[in-house]
A and B are shown apart, each in its own frame.
Chain A
Amino acid sequence: MTVVASFLVPVHPHPLLAPEANEGYGRLRAAFEEAAARIEASGADLIIVYSTTWPSIIGHQIQADPNPVWNLVDHDFHDLGTMHYDFQIDAEFAHAWRDAAEQRGLTARTVNYHGFPIDVGSVVSLSLLNRNNRIPAAIVSSNVYANRAETTVLAKSCIDAAQAAGKKVAVVAAMSLSNRMFTRRIEPEDDRIHSLKDDEWNSKILQFLGDGRLEDVGQLSRTIHNQIRVQKVVAFKPMWFLSAMNDHRNDLTGEVLAYEALHGAGGAVVHLDPASNGKGDKEYDEEDVEVFGGDRNVLDTESDNAEDGTTAPQAPASSPGSGPALWDPVEGEDAVNTDTAPKPVGAYPHARRVGDMLYLSGVGPRQPGTNAIPGGPIHDEAGQPLDYDIKAQTQAVVTNVERVLKEAGGSLEDVVDVTSFLVDMDRDFAGYNEVWAETLGKVGPTRTTLAIRALPTPIAVEMKVVAHLPK
């Protein structure tokens, strides 16, 4: 399991700087401390913070300064004092996340600059949730132009990087619920949620989250944003990120640890445990996007001719470049094809159904949309060998197999027989076998592994899969 715990926490500095000023601030502080203890108990070895108070414009920025140290003062609540921070950032993971994001078509970059202004939401979160600074962290910005698809892909790229690194992740969304503050200074003892309407919406959101219905809140995000959010640059996006990090689930085990007013805004500390609560079902009715194909590269005038004014992302550096031409999958009465799997390199469907049986065409690790190869291609366009990651490639093959099965109404559990092809048995068998054991090996299909000279694209592994679909 990659995500071992998820949390919502408020962004304002009161619980950090003035917990004694108001009983509610004190309860939030205690809830932060309880959340910190639960993160410790979860076994997480990485804390991911998605903060609404770090807006970005040029794609998604990921903090990569291994040890950022500074004194932060809030723009509004400067009289509460100074927040000194001294964090431990997992820079290696930050770079891996950036690479994974680019593989999925996003624009992303790491930032590693002395004095970079880490935002107040991230500082409050990490100061209170990781007080001994024991667990390394990663912080990602909230892009002001990103929609749900883009935010979902960002989360999936985070999962890619975490899985490749074998990390157990605690995810933190630093955000307010209702974010309307009093526009005049109030005394702490007079603090309350700004309006009854905001309070009622917050209570509804917390009821959902307390029931573990994270995806439902994700689907309500736009409505929530319109109802109780001041229209600042960053919308109610953290729920999209958090839901995608949790596979769009609605059956988490949720618990509201505190809910209080912070100068009128709704501040809550909520724990979402991945353990199923045994009730509820997944009701994911939005497109499950794997690769971002939005308005990135709008500066690329050469490809600026799309009718809708948008352009496709450039193929990442690790794409196969001038490899074989890509085909649209062949349609037919029994054919199963999906946009979530890479395009074929010839005239064939992704899969074909015969009765209850599903026969998949050979599946490689290429990514749909970008054609990028997770783990990198095995050689460059001139045929010169390149270093590559067989585990990442194998994991991507399994993911692509899963996508085709999903399109047919099945899952990995339905796989009955696999023939695997490796271009370098000596080098790659161990890594391939390790990923197999963690994925299909747990399902138990029969397997044959062959060494072959080459595959049509610069990949190291391909699988031929047969599945027996549920009736």
Chain B
Amino acid sequence: MGMGGGQIVAGCLAPHPPHLVYAESPPQNEPKAEGGWEQLRWGYDRLRASLADVEHDVVVILSPHWQTYVGTHFLGLPRFEGFSVDPVFPNLFRYTYDLSIDLDLAEGIHAEAMSAGLDAHMMRNPDFRVDYGTITTAHLTDPSWSKPLVVISSNRSRHYYSVEVMQEMMAELGRATRKAIEASGKRAVVLASNSLSHRHFTTEPEVPEDMSHEHITSHAMHLWDMRIIDHMVNGRSKQLLDEMPEFTDQAIAETDGGALTWLLHALDLPDYNATLHGYGTVIGTGNAIVEWPAWRHREDSA
């Protein structure tokens, strides 16, 4: 717990395939399905059950689908409501959202990021449409939308420079996030919204939820995903970060958006074991639902 009394109580890798929301057929989403991707949806069931036991005030999300090239941006109004349509899978995801923002904490992280030398901006245009990655991850971790959010954009420094530069910037942002949460006095769950290996199939079955078509795109992707998961569940954050450049390049991984690096630094490079709630593929991409139970680690260490 930091000087302000705030703390990160849990950090999660919480990927955002819109297919999972579609498969669930919640009232907010127009398309309806006959199920599908149960391995991952059961994983999210387990994550939700786990987080239900963790008292928290706010959820902080970094999504790779709010892509910014000029600095890091934060949603900067108290409330956003609208209709999100996935531009790649519009047949699966057309979701009516209404979310609240913890503006104090968003501005706090923004200020810490600026202090750390990062370029950061508050997004205060009320017409802004919140990205579907944020909405999917927020829905899957809490379908009742009971907590206010802090939503952070994904700066594309990996594309501008390299995975190494991305990691340096995301390390700073992760530390800034932790400091701001500690100063806020709030208990936060921090979510990195990204998949692991990210090579898609380029066709879709006639029935998208037909699971007879679902598998990883290649054995190499599978091996990478298993290696990364093994690092996570065995407390090897530093080794994972060391291997991030090779993983990101060779597995075309969605870690390119920086969310996982940011999360691990926000958690102060956890050396305790993460909990794997589920793994599965979505249109060939590898997705793991993983929780670092920071609160329990603190209690065990105390």
Contact = CB atoms under 8 A, between A and B. Distances in A.
A166 interface: no
B296 interface: no
A300 B202 CA distance: 11
Interface stretch (B3-11, B43-51, B83-91): B83-91
Contacts of A232: 156, 159
Contacts of A73: 125, 127-129
B176 to A, nearest CB: 16
Given A58-B88, A232-B159, A182 B203 contact: no
Nearest to A53: B87
A75 B133 CA distance: 14
Given A81-B125, A116-B87, A75 B67 contact: yes
Given A78-B128, A115-B83, A58 B89 contact: yes
A119 B157 CA distance: 22
A183 interface: yes
What is the predominant secondary structure among interface residues of chain B facing chain A? loop
A58 B217 CA distance: 14
Most chain B CB neighbours (cut-off 10 Å) among A115, A182, A231: A115
B205 A299 contact: yes
B213 interface: yes
A75 B203 contact: no
A78 B125 contact: yes
A58 B125 CA distance: 31
B203 A71 contact: no
B159 A231 contact: yes
Interface stretch (B21-29, B68-76, B226-234, B235-243): B68-76
A350 interface: no
Interface in A91-120: 107, 111, 113-117, 119
Interface residues of A, number: 43
Interface stretch (A2-10, A290-298, A358-366, A373-381): A290-298
Interface string B36-77: 000000000000000000000000000000111111010000
Contacts of B71: 183-185
A277 interface: no
Contacts of A75: 66-68, 73, 131, 153
A76 B69 contact: yes
Contacts of A145: 200, 202
A117 to B, nearest CB: 5
A263 B160 CA distance: 14
A184 B69 CA distance: 8
Contacts of A59: 202-203
Interface residues of B, number: 40
Contacts of B83: 114-115
A211 B244 CA distance: 45
The DSSP consensus for interface residues of chain A is loop
Contacts of B121: 79, 185
A54 interface: yes
A6 to B, nearest CB: 25
The listed residue with most A CB atoms (<10 A of its CB), out of B67, B121, B125, B202, is: B202
B204 interface: yes
A180 interface: yes
Nearest to B82: A115
A76 B205 CA distance: 35
Given A107-B202, A107-B203, A76 B90 contact: no
B88 A56 contact: yes
Nearest to B123: A78
A117 B129 CA distance: 9
Nearest to A80: B125
Given A59-B203, A73-B129, A119 B70 contact: no
B80 to A, nearest CB: 11
Nearest to B30: A113
A317 interface: no
Contacts of A298: 201-203, 217
Given A78-B123, A111-B90, A183-B157, A57 B70 contact: no
B94 interface: yes
A82 B125 contact: yes
Contacts of B127: 71-73, 82
Interface string A50-86: 0000111111000000000001110111110110000
Contacts of B156: 230, 232
Interface in A346-392: none
A339 to B, nearest CB: 23
Given A75-B68, A115-B83, A184-B119, A296 B94 contact: no
A116 B84 CA distance: 8
Given A58-B202, A298-B203, A183 B70 contact: yes
A56 B200 CA distance: 11
A181 interface: yes
B203 A183 contact: no
Contacts of A296: 202-203
B252 to A, nearest CB: 10
Interface in A289-333: 295-301
Interface string A155-191: 0000000000000000000000000111111000000
A57 B202 contact: yes
14 contacts: A58-B202, A75-B66, A75-B153, A76-B69, A82-B127, A113-B85, A115-B84, A115-B85, A116-B87, A183-B69, A183-B70, A183-B160, A296-B203, A300-B203
Given A57-B202, A76-B73, A107-B203, 8 more contacts: A56-B88, A57-B200, A72-B129, A73-B125, A73-B127, A82-B127, A115-B84, A299-B205
Interface of B: 66-71, 73, 83-85, 87-91, 94, 119, 121, 123-125, 127-129, 131, 153, 155-157, 159-160, 200-205, 213, 217, 283
Considering the complex of A and B, which 6 residue pairs feature the smallest CB-CB distances, nearest first? A78-B125, A184-B119, A82-B127, A73-B128, A71-B127, A115-B83
Interface of A: 54-59, 71-73, 75-79, 81-82, 107, 111, 113-117, 119, 143, 145, 180-185, 230-232, 263, 295-301
